[in-house]
Amino acid sequence: DSPQTVAAPLHEASSRRSSKLVSTLPKSTLLPSPALEALLGDREDDDTPLTPQQLVQLLVDAGHLTRQNVAKERWRTLLQPALRMALPADDPWHSMDVHSLATELAKRWDYNSSTRKWELSEVMVKVEREPFAEGAMRECYRMKKMSQVSPSFFYRMDWAACNNYVAKRYKKRETGRGTYFSDIEMQMLSKRLSRHYNALAPPKAVDFLHAFVIEVERGGEQMLFCVERAIERGSYVKHNNNAGSLDFDGLHRATPNAFSRFTFHASRGELMVVDI
């Protein structure tokens, strides 16, 4: 199950920019280029100096700079440690024929822990109708999701090559929508706190898988699932819970419990990430 947080969310403003400028020129290219000279020629009768913003715009218009989405690039970078744990040499689900299931168009809800807002998009998925595993509260379904990043996946429609995900649904069908969204908010706040923890260079880093909510319509019914990448190797150990129990017997690392304590101090007592 997802980690649990206690009390209110962490309050912290974010001032990161949403885009950056990246040079498109080879290192051997000398400025000014004909394109830039043409743009500068339009200013021959203007003696006012260029502001930095105007100079940047000229370089963009001349094709020497391009704007790059920093948020997406940062998301890809931060996701890599968790994804490496989720990448098997061969697809263990291939024989399950998940890639052959009917395709469904789903709404995808992602929680941005920096802006504290939900972001909505559409995604194509294939989800099993029968669970392959279950816990005390939720059932687990195998799922494949068409990439929303790589256009080549859409061109080939190679579902067998798509990544494996686990879609979790509460056994109690009367469970409200807010519970699903609360679970994902907790996961993403935990992931954000792990970045703060790792910035202190601990002996062992911590990471959480990116998780999101999907909503599909089946037979006129709206069905919600909490989704995250499948981790198909390693064993699961419960290191602590929200009732004070600790698996601190010397056989396992102290990292999970140290991280839980860190989240309490980092949030000035507003929350603690537990049930790890």
- Residue-wise pLDDT for 54-65, tens only, equals 666 666 666 656
Beta strands in 146-208 (DSSP E): 164-170
Helix/strand/coil for 93: coil
Residue 171: the pLDDT is 96
What is the pLDDT, as a whole number, of residue 157? 79
Nearest to 183, CA basis, from 212, 155, 204: 212
Strands, E assignment, 117-246: 117-127, 133-134, 138-145, 164-170, 211-218, 221-229
pLDDT for the residue numbered 236: 83
Q: Is 187 in a helix, a strand, or coil?
A: helix
Instruction: State residue 5's pLDDT score.
Output: 46
| The pairing of beta strand 271-274 with beta strand 211-218 | unpaired
CA proximity to 141, closest of 160, 114, 106, 165: 165
Which residues contact residue 252 at a Cβ distance below 8 angstroms, ignoring those fewer than 6 apart? 237, 239
Return the pLDDT at 248.
72
Residues of the chain with pLDDT below 70 are 1-76, 78-89, 151-155
Instruction: Return the residue matching tokens 């394109």.
Output: 35
Encoding tokens for residue 88?
A: 């098997």
Q: Identity (one letter) of the amino acid at 249?
A: D
